[in-house]
Every structure is written in C-alpha cells, then in structure tokens.
Amino acid sequence: VTVSVLYWPAVARVAPSLRKRACCRPTATSTRNAFVFAAMTVALRAVGLVTLFVAVVVALPQRHECVHDAVRRLPGYGANAERINVSYAFDTSATTRSFAAQQSSSFQSLRIQVFFDQGDCSAGTCGHCTAVGDTVPTYESAGATTTCQTDDVLTTEKRAYIVDRLMPAAKDFFQRALNVARVSGNLVVSGSSTCGQSPGTAIPASHQSTGVADADFVAYVTAVPKADRSSATVAWAAACRRDSADRPLVAHVNFIPAKLTNAVNLTSVDQANDEATAVHEIAHALGFSAPFFGDRGHLALDGTTMVPSGGTTTATSSTLGKSVTYLTSPRVVREARAYFGCDTLIGGEIEDQGGSGTAGSHWEKRIFNDDSMSGISTGVLSYHSRLTLAFFEDTGHYTANYDAADTRMAWGKGKGCAFAENKCDTLGTNDDNSEFCFDTNTQNTYCTFDRLARGYCGVGDYGQALPSHQQYFSGAPSIGGAVYHSDYCPTVLPYGNRICIDPTTSDSQDVYGNTFSATSRCFDSNLLQSGRSTGSTRRETRCFVPECDGVRLRILVKGVAVTCPADGSAGTADLSALNGQYSGSITCPQSSVFGCAAGVTPPPTSGGGTSPTPAATPSPPAGPGTPPSTPTPQTAPTPAPNADLVPTPAPPSLPLSCADRVSCARTAMAMLPQCRGAARAIADCFGTDCDTQMENYLRAAGVYSNCTSNAAQTAYQGACIEGRAGVADLCYLALSPAASVGVWGPALFVCLAAALLAVGVVPL
C-alpha cells in the first residue's frame, strides 16, 4: 500500500513537548492524529503485513498564535479599559507622583483578589460550561457564543486546578514580586457592570458599591472555550479597569477547559508549565503589553522623575540583518546588559515574529528562549526573569522584589554581546556549550540546553526560501528551525516522554540505565545493558543523576556512582564501578556545568541505590564552540520576516529500539480502542525478550554477521533493525501459535482503515 499522508507539524517520532506560551499549545486533535499515524506505521511495519511508504507529506498550517493582542483590542480591554477613580495612600497622579516614595515603605506588597465566574448560569451569563450543549459567551466579539462540547465542560477537577493551583500560584508570585502604592480602603470597581464589553464577564453589584477589601488588583476568572476548537489557546487575560495614570486595576482572565488536561494527572512538570502560563497572562494584564511599551513614559533610574515618552528604540542591526526593536527603559537596559555581560547592549530585544498575537508583546525568543514572557514555550520549564520585573518597575506603577526572580535561566547568560547581537550560526553548534543545533538527521538525539530532557534538533523545511539573513544551512534556503519565532534558529526540542526531571516518565524496558527523577539530568550516552544492542549508530542520550565530589563530577547509574575526570574537565566517565552490567559510554561535560567546586561533597548515601543529593542547579556553560560554515547566499525569492510559514518535518520514522516499539504499541492501545487487540499483540511480541528474539531471527536470516561492527551496522542498518524480510517471523517466534498473525491480522486491517480516516490519508 503506497499512500500520501497529510499530517500536522506536531508529528514527530515521539511527540515532542512543544507548547506555545499561554495561548499556544498543540491541539489535542493534532497530537492525537500524530500518535495514531506513528503508532499505525509502527504496527503495520512491525507485523510485516503492510509496507507503508510516505510518498508526499504536506504540512497543514496550524497557527498557534497567542490571543492577548487580539483581546486587548476588544472594547473594554487593554488600552480600551475603562478609567476609574481610586484613592491611594499618597498622591500618585500623573503629574505629581511622589516617585521617591517608591524606595520607601509607602510602596507595599501588591494585594490581588481573585473571583471565579460571577455570571448567572440561570440567566445565560455563565462563564463556564456546566454540561454538553450549554451555550456560553466566548468574549471574542459582541454577542459571540459557542455550544459546549465534552472537553469544554468545567469538571470538578478542572475547576479545582484553576482555583486551587493555577491562580494561587500566579497570585503568590506577583504578591512576592511587586510592590505598589496601595489602594486606600476598598477597591470600588465602578463603571459598567462587566469586565470587558464583548460582552465581558459580570461584576458583582457589591464590588461596584462597597468594593473589594484588601485589594490593589482584582481578577475575574472564567473558563469558556474558544469558538475555534483547533486553536491552541490555553488562557488569555487583559485589564478592564485602569486609573488615570494607566495603572491596571482589574482584569478578566479566561482558561480554556479543553487544554487543562493535567487537571487529572497533576504531573509536576505540566503543572509548572500551566502555572507559568497563568503568570504570563497576569503579567499581560498588569501591563506587560505592546501599548505600554514606550508610549506611556517610564521612571528615571534615580526614581525621582517620570520621563513622559520614549522607552523603545528601533534600529537596523547589521549583524542580524534586520530591523530590531528594543525596550530601552533604564532598568530593562541595566538588567539586559548584566544578564548577557554586554555593557553596550541597546536594551531588551522585542519579538518580531509570530503574528499579531506574539510580535511586539514578548521578549525575543532567539535570545530569551526560556523566559516566561517569551511568546512561545518550547522547553521543559520557563523562568520568571529579573528583566521582566525591571519592566514593571520602569512603568512607575511598581517596585520589584528581584529576589522573586528565578535565577535558573541560563540561556545565553554571560555570553556577551556576541550572543545578544549576532546570528545564531556564528555562536557554536551541536555541543554542550551551544544553545543552537544544526543537525538535519532526525535520528540523532540531543540533550536540551538546560539538560532537563532528551530531545532532537528541531529543523523543518518551510517549502520556500527563508529570509536571506535567516538561512543557516548551505545550499538549503528553505530549511530552518522548527520554532520560527527564534529567527528560524534551530534548537533542541524535548521529547514529551523523555523528560528527565519527570518522575512519571519510564522506559518500557529498563535496559538503558535511565533514572527519571526531579534530580536527574540529561547526558550524551549510549549506555545499554550488556549483551543487548539497538542496532543503531545514531547519537544517543540518557537521564542520570549528577552529584559533586569536590571539583569532580560523579554520575549515578541506578544508584551506582561512576566518575568523571578528577580535575572537573570534560571527558568520558569511568564505568568500571558498573561491573560489566552495562556497555557503551557516558560523556562527561565540564563539572562546572553542575556547580561542582572544591569543598562540595557528595552525600554519604551515594552509590548505594538510595535517593542522592543532586548537584547544584546547572550554571551556564563556558563560551561557544566552533560555529558552522556560513551558508551560501541564495537567489531564491525571500518572504517577509513575519511570513506565517509552517515547517514540514520529516515523516515519522520507525522507532529503532524494542522498548520504543512497545511504547508506540501501548500508545496505539490508548488512542484507538478498536486497535487494542492488534496493538497488544505487538507489545507482547516486542516485550518478550525482544533483543534475543531479534538476534535469533537475524541469525536464521543469515545477516547477523553483518551487524556485529559499527561500520557493518551502518551499511546494513535496515537489515540489522528489521531483518531482511521484516519482523513478522520474529513476532511469530515471540507469540504462541494461537496469537499469531492469522488470528489478529484481520483486526489490524480494521485498525488501518480507522487510522487512515483519522489522519487524512489519501491513496495515490
């Protein structure tokens, strides 16, 4: 069967964790279809019933655009928010603000009060779905409504997730991070009866008369779906009330219930990301938004004068080959220069890609990759930075407690003007020191820059020439990073099921030495239990627990410590302590990556298999490595820098290890109930001493001798992995005759038909 497959950019060999910040997460449909296609490809090839060739791959455009800028333009939101009169502890009018008081006790911790859905469901103004078939407003335009579907219903778990976890986390962060001139008495939310006017969410009558006690900022939270179910929006927020000096006072925050899939699982990594999304959106509501960048004035560095204009600068960068907009208010400049170690940096670069939802209202992804206020989140975790707090302080509305900022963000930190001001292909590639990768081989695996996960170099084909100043692959003008917000610079993207710090991650076969825990980190390694082989020569990675013994790095493999070079330099770990249980190697980075230094000692329990004390949070690596060659200039037409191009990734490849095949089969069981019988048989097949069975089959096929050296494995890779005639016979060896292909083969064809419909397969 030869088919042409239409599938989404989210498809990968193992679906990656690629989440767009706040409004930007892959849709459930695209991820499900990706899994279906990958699982069925594995299933069909594994049993030798059908050979599936992907002849044509067309990427369907899936625009994960944040909606903050769209919301702030609606009546009653953002720069259109109603102005109300509020009394403060001292004079804060636009002309006579006592800015010196910001440095005194007059500015106190920001008090935030949160109220969930104040609408009347019986009157049709409910701000959440109570049942399938309900009609609720979307707040996207005047009178816009949508009919609730199953995933839209606000279950008890989803409500608790918002009310008890996400909003408290955001509230706690800003109450620690920002100080304000507090409201005197109650905050009376005067004006219209709604927060926003499209139609907006209801404001209780008591809030408009008596007011809200102990509040400097009020958030009204709803949980309605977007009318466009293919949207990747997770949440949005915008201010709906402000004072005469444009300080935001009241906001509408909305979460999309269908995207809160972690409400039931409550995994720590996903919750951390959802909490970061809540913080991101509240930051927009508090004023981190394009209309407030530069045209509202900023506070002078000495805290005594309000500069009435300025705060942004646009200049042409000869090194980047484009026009760049910077935030140039004084504290932002101070923090940006300190972070990169560049005393001449103009300011904090603003994102110029991603369309109206992202461009202009976020930090530039290329150099602020892990900042929670970048427009798209593609890593394992994101961090609330001093740079963002500096912006809030520059507005004159707040002072910042910089101790609340997360110091773990290391992307580009301390790497000087070269990193902040130059193209990514001049900064190093494919090594421990580089934030960027330039590898088009999708079989290779890499560690993410922060070493929190195993991943792959995210590269895609955009189908047309990229802007000439953003072409990094010689002779391939249409190839670029899969996350185009980073100026098409390719970065390592994590696999969703290979997160080292996620304790819920596991290997289907425990043969790789991996440990998934909060203290684990990623290492370049091809470790494997002795006597086993994946038949692969690709670059590989593993998750181990690092610890420091003075300047020396030690790595725990299933609780057994192996040692790196004594002087803390990079090198290869000594695996003798493993007593031959594992073959392969582990590459040691410089121990300073994990904070190892003289006087740092390992815990007494290390090496005994009990929970070790981890090494310190990784500090930024040393300077950049060798840059790739400069790409050959292209003459192909160049699209505009903000063109909404979507990369066409390589088609999903068959997993190379038995363990990964079992994982894919189990995914098929979970995703396609009608395929569980066939998928379970496949899982049983590959889960039954798979490596031994594979070896027996290869010996019988007469090709085993071709698979015993690295050079031969490369030449005979297909045979070494699949066997010359496929692995149907291998499955027959592993399964009893009653469970052979003849019994469950027909069911697999039913699954094939369902899968083809699910992913949009079109026969040639």
* Catalytic positions: 281
Radius of gyration of the chain (CA): 28
The three-class DSSP label of residue 217 is strand
Rounded CA separation 556/549 (Å): 12
Quote the CA–CA distance of 548 and 534 in Å, as a whole number. 31
User: Which residues 6+ apart lie within 8 Å of 159 measured at CB?
Assistant: 116, 128, 223
The pair of three-digit structure tokens given for residue 172, joined into one six-digit string: 């706690």
- Known binding-site residue numbers: 280, 284, 362
Residues making up the annotated binding site for Zn(2+) are 280, 284, 362
What whole-number distance in Å separates Cα of residue 68 and Cα of residue 375?
10
187-190 contacts, C-beta under 8 A, 24 or more apart: 187/86, 187/211, 187/212, 187/215, 187/216, 187/218, 187/249, 187/250, 188/84, 188/86, 188/212, 189/84, 189/218, 189/241, 189/249, 189/250, 190/84, 190/85
**Do strands 398-400 and 178-181 pair parallel, antiparallel, or not at all (unpaired)?**
antiparallel
Pair 251, 282: CB distance under 8 Å: yes
Q: Residue 165, by phi and psi: left (phi above 0), alpha (psi -120 to 50) or beta? A: alpha
Tokens of 308: 């009435």
Which of 23, 26, 22 lies closest to 9, judged by CA? 26
E strand segments, 518-595: 521-524, 528-529, 541-549, 552-557, 560-563, 571-572, 582-583, 587-588
378, 483 contact by CB (below 8 A): yes
Contact at 8 Å (CB) between 541 and 454?
Answer: yes
Query: DSSP secondary-structure letter at 411?
Result: T
Which burial class, exposed, middle or buried, applies to 56 when counting CB atoms under 10 A from its CB (0-12, 13-18, 19+)? exposed
Q: Token digits for 131?
A: 């049942």
Q: What is the DSSP letter of 568?
A: S
Query: Which pair of structure tokens corresponds to residue 85?
Result: 């009169």
Cα–Cα distance, 710 to 536 (Å, whole number): 9
Of 250, 293, 240, 252, nearest to 77 by C-alpha is 240
Q: Are 621 and 432 in contact (CB under 8 A)?
A: yes
* CA 734/CA 732 separation, integer angstroms: 5
Q: Let me know: does 390 contact 430? Beta carbons within 8 Å.
A: no
Amino acid at 625: G
Task: Tell me how long the chain is.
Answer: 764
The angle formed by the CA atoms of residues 301, 304 and 306, to the nearest 5 degrees, is 80
Give ∠ CA 568-447-690 in degrees, rounded to 5.
110
Is residue 378 within 8 Å of residue 491, measured between CB atoms?
Answer: yes
Residue 32: how many other CB atoms lie within 10 Å:
18
CA angle 16/20/21 to nearest 5° reads 130
- Structure tokens given for 497: 């099921």
Distance of alpha carbon 324 from alpha carbon 315, whole angstroms: 5
Phi, psi torsion values for 532, nearest 5 degrees: -115, 160
